[in-house]
Copies of this chain bind each other. A is one copy, B any other.
Amino acid sequence: MSLLGAIEAGGTKFVVAVADETDPDTVIKRESFPTEDGPKTIKKVQAFFDQYDDIAAIGIAAFGPIDVAPDSKTYGYVLDTPKRGWSGYNFLGAMKAWRDIPYFWTTDVNGAGWAEFVSGAAKNDDNLVYLTVGTGIGAGIIQNGKLLQGISHPEAGHIMMKKHPEDTYKGHCPFHEDRCLEGLAAGPAIEERWGRSAKEIPDDDLAWEIEAYYLAQAAVTYTAILRPDRIVFGGGVPHRENLLPLVRKSFAEQMADYLAVPPLDEYIVHVENGDDAGILGCFYLAKSLVDQSQAQAID
């Protein structure tokens, strides 16, 4: 029996898992542990996979920024990050030195987005924007069935934004303050702006209208540039039940009938995969490396 491996490499926690190559939807074994520095954490990753001789490929979905440009000298490295013990760490190289099998190396949002594309809310689509709104905001973009990247992976949480007329918040982005989506609409921005946790803010509060305005504005911009089949929202913030209906309403107002899009309750939707999305995405990405019948994630 040949196995697929998954490494969901988060900034606070790592999850590692294996599945049968013929059944990537079923986790055979999983472990998780807190994220330490690069070398210590990867030693635990390797110890987990040491239990298995026959791993066909491993998918890695890593917190960023990471170098995903195949021609780059630092391909496979973690780039500058405030996370201690990770800046400049050769994550992929450490795994290859341990065992020289195929690895699919990508971002955490690309992993979760790919899971939605293969088996979730976008499983019948060719083009997807997957947006996660939590501590930060990031996007995995799939265009014509491939993960989109240019000289590096998207950082689509940092698109420039028009402020809501009633919003006087100074913004939370250390680079762009109140000028980018993440600075205005990520979880910490909501909590700092209103001085309480999102859970304490009632459904009919202006807070949600403002949040929806920003997410809708971003959705209009993604739509104009990428023309996706669907925009799928993941992460903690969109769990709030009242939010996506407000996003759809604001999207209609801001788009003002300029571009034809699918019905909004099909176009702007929640993720379907639950907490397993990251691991599932890794399995699917690993499978795409070994199985030509599976959708190929890259050219």
Contact = CB atoms under 8 A, between A and B. Distances in A.
Contacts of A222: 225
Given A143-B150, A155-B224, A222-B225, 6 more contacts: A126-B150, A127-B151, A156-B224, A221-B221, A221-B225, A225-B226
A162 B163 contact: yes
Contact of A156 (B141, B150, B160, B225): B225
Given A160-B220, A160-B221, A179-B162, A154 B226 contact: yes
B227 A176 contact: no
B176 A258 contact: yes
9 contacts: A127-B151, A144-B299, A150-B228, A158-B258, A158-B259, A159-B225, A162-B162, A175-B257, A221-B225
Interface string A84-128: 000000000000000000000000000000000000000000110
Nearest to A227: B150
Interface of A: 126-127, 139, 141, 143-144, 146, 148-163, 175-176, 179-180, 217-218, 220-222, 224-229, 254, 256-260, 299
A222 B158 CA distance: 10
A179 to B, nearest CB: 6
A177 to B, nearest CB: 9
Contacts of A227: 149-155
Contact of A160 (B126, B143, B157, B217): B217
Given A160-B220, A162-B161, A220-B160, A226 B258 contact: no
A227 B149 CA distance: 7
Nearest to A177: B256
Contacts of A175: 256-258
Contacts of A176: 254, 256, 258
Nearest to A226: B150
Contact of A179 (B143, B152, B254, B259): B254
Cβ-closest 3 pairs across A and B: A150-B227, A127-B150, A175-B258
Given A148-B143, A161-B160, A217-B160, A259 B155 contact: yes
Contacts of A160: 161-162, 217-218, 220-221, 254
Contacts of A257: 175
A299 B254 CA distance: 33
A113 to B, nearest CB: 14
Contacts of A151: 127, 227-229
